[in-house]
């Protein structure tokens, strides 16, 4: 698996997990900050992660 494929997969996993938290009514900015700093999503901003969720 290439580096770009790994990042794409990480993005999908992060977005889906945050969507699940949102559906349960428990998503918070702290969750997004953690996701932005996670190994698979390193180097992205909190705003970028919120965009991923909006697009998912």
Residue 56, pLDDT score: 81
Mean pLDDT (whole number) for 27-50:
82
DSSP collapsed to 3 states, 1-56: CCHHHHHHHHHHHHHHHHHHHHHCCCCCHHHHHHHHHCHHHCCCCHHHHHHHHHHC
pLDDT tens across 8-32, in order?
888 888 889 999 999 999 989 899 9
User: CA 46, 15, 52, 34: dihedral to nearest 10 degrees?
Assistant: 10
38 near 11, Cβ under 8 Å? no
């Amino acid at each position: 698996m290439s580096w770009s494929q790994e990042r794409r997969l990480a993005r999908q996993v992060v977005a889906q997990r945050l969507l699940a938290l949102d559906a349960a009514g428990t998503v918070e900015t702290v969750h997004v900050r953690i996701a932005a700093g996670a190994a698979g999503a390193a180097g992205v901003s909190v705003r970028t992660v919120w965009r991923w969720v909006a697009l998912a």
